[in-house]
Amino acid sequence: MVELFKDPDSQLMAVRTDAETPEQFFQQLAHGLGAMIENGTYDGDWALQLSKWLPQAFEIGLKLRGYKADVLEKRLITAGDFAPSLPPVVTTDERLKPLISVPVINGPATFVAE
């Protein structure tokens, strides 16, 4: 599961995952971002989104590879500017009602757009 968060008031963003490998995490992240781009989410404003989410994803990738990184690890790994309490902008958690459904290698994924 990969979830992307964005606070609409402060523009703070975060990434959360329960992926067990960097490959699984980046594959799910790529499918989520791709679905958002294809759906027109944040049209014309992707430079801001990517400038926040990509460094956070990089930190999670380092953590999953075993390097010390500036992320919080409990049951889920979270990297970002705030502790997410809002619904995610995009998620691969199959328990949520899908707005966009995209198949991934490890099973179906669900993406919930803002």
Q: Which residues contact 11 (CB under 8 A, 6 or more apart)?
A: 48
Q: What is the pLDDT of residues 18-43, one digit of tens each?
A: 999 999 999 999 998 988 888 888 87
Amino acid 85 reads S
Domain membership of residue 59 as a residue range: 2-111
Which two tokens mark 6? Answer: 């964005």
Q: What is the pLDDT of residues 62-107, one digit of tens each?
A: 989 888 667 665 556 777 776 666 677 777 666 655 444 444 444 4
Helices (H) and strands (E) in the chain, counts: 2, 7
Q: What is the DSSP letter of 87?
A: P
Q: How many domains does the chain have?
A: 1
